[in-house]
Amino acid sequence: MNIFITGGAGFLGSEISKLLSKKHRIYIYDVITKNKKKNIFYIKGDILNQKKIRYYLVKKKIDIILHFAASLGVKNTEENPLKVIEINIKGTINLLECIKKTQVKKIIFASSSEIYGDNKKKIVSEKDLTSPKSVYGHTKITGEEILKTFCRMYKINFNIVRFFNICGKNQRNDFVISKFAELIRKEKPIPIYGNGNQIRCFCHVKDAAIAVSKLLKNGKNNEIYNIGNNSEPIKIINLAKKMIIMSNKKITIKKIPFRFTDRTAKREIYFRIPNLKKAKRELNFRAKINLSRIVSEILQS
């Protein structure tokens, strides 16, 4: 198949394109380009450039689109809400407009666990209520609804993937494990927001890429899937302690009240644990890389 990946030069998109290129021809559409690799071709372009996107969808006879282009990161999205809305919502609308009168058969939309907010169930399934607390979360749930409406109207198949804390080597340092690792390397104190009792589950980027590959093969059309690794839920303060122990360095932990951070207590999500039964049952997916291996890899990068 010919697969078009928006934002495909990013952290997750790069891993997915590398895996999918073993069987498919991949066209990465991004503001960043890299050297061409076997079955991977880079197109430099903006998600808001409708004319350019439509041209390549037609010229390259694209079968499937993976829509990963987005503005993300807590500090970035909270400080630049209008930019986030433009890229995440207007960009999605723009892409969907480009699909009309092409041979695109399916679009896979990268959503986020942020859309759940603080759910009373704590361990959330795809059927649970969504209650986003951040600008980013609101743009993602809006993108989901726009996608579903468009695809039903124009009879195009879709899938929505809600990723939970994807991480790994070479991830940007504004994501928690990479951020802690960078501070440990510099032998600086690790800041913990609030009391550090926020619970997260971390999934290696290679496992996430395998999940997307399995989705293309086994996924049911027009369904939503949680993707992550729920085998080792951990409090953020305990994550910091684990990383310090594994680094064999004497690093201190510094608790910082929310009022002195780039987020507020009301904006914080205190439980983020995915129910992955649907992914296991329908995709035959189960993450294999444990937290210790993830931490070790990032500390050594």
Say if strands 64-67 and 2-6 run parallel, antiparallel, or are unpaired: parallel
Last-in-domain residue among 227, 262, 278 = 227
- What is the CATH classification number for the domain harbouring 91? 3.40.50.720
Shared-domain flag, residues 128 and 90: yes
Shared-domain flag, residues 185 and 146: no
Least trusted range by pLDDT, from 2-16, 62-76, 139-153, 281-295 = 62-76
Q: Provide the residue range defining the domain that includes 221.
A: 2-166+202-227
Domain count for the chain, please give it.
Answer: 2
Shared-domain flag, residues 70 and 175: no
Shared-domain flag, residues 243 and 96: no
Residue 35 has pLDDT above 80, yes or no: yes
Long-range contacts of 119-125 (CB under 8 A, 24+ apart): 119/271, 122/271, 122/273, 123/230, 123/271, 123/273, 123/274, 123/275, 124/226, 124/273, 124/274, 124/275, 125/226, 125/275, 125/277, 125/278
Which residues have a Cβ under 8 Å from the Cβ of 152 and sit 6 or more positions away? none
For 12, the enclosing helix (H) or strand (E) is helix 11-20
Q: Cα dist. 39→3, 19, 279 in Å?
A: 10, 11, 28
Give the phi and the psi of residue 89 in degrees, each rounded to 5: -100, -55
Shared-domain flag, residues 42 and 18: yes
Strand ranges (E), the chain: 2-6, 25-30, 40-44, 64-67, 106-112, 123-124, 157-163, 166-167, 190-193, 199-200, 203-204, 223-227, 234-235, 253-256, 271-274
**DSSP 3-state of 84:** helix
Residue 77 is predicted with a pLDDT of 74
- Mean predicted lDDT score pLDDT of the chain: 94
| Rounded average pLDDT over 97-107 | 96
Shared-domain flag, residues 69 and 101: yes
Shared-domain flag, residues 40 and 148: yes
Residue 235 has pLDDT above 90, yes or no: yes
Shared-domain flag, residues 13 and 52: yes
Single-letter code of the amino acid located at 223: E
Q: Are 74 and 66 in contact (CB under 8 A)?
A: no
Residue 265 is predicted with a pLDDT of 67
Shared-domain flag, residues 83 and 215: yes
pLDDT in tens, 103-144: 999 999 999 999 999 888 889 999 999 999 889 999 999 999
With the C-alpha atoms ordered 193, 295, 40, 213, is the resulting torsion angle positive or negative? negative
Quote the longest CA-to-CA distance of the chain.
60
Shared-domain flag, residues 76 and 196: no
Q: Can you read off the two tokens belonging to residue 291?
A: 């937290």
Q: How far is CA 10 from the centre of its chain?
A: 10
> pTM for the whole thing?
0.95
Shared-domain flag, residues 144 and 30: yes
- What is the CATH classification number for the domain harbouring 176? 3.90.25.10
Give the phi and the psi of residue 250 in degrees, each rounded to 5: -95, 95
Question: For residue 36, what pLDDT band results from cuts at 50, 70 and 90?
Answer: confident
Residue 199 is predicted with a pLDDT of 96
Residue 144 is predicted with a pLDDT of 98
Last-in-domain residue among 187, 212, 227 = 227
Q: Cα dist. 37→17, 42, 62, 259 in Å?
A: 10, 9, 18, 46
| Rounded average pLDDT over 237-250 | 97
Shared-domain flag, residues 210 and 65: yes
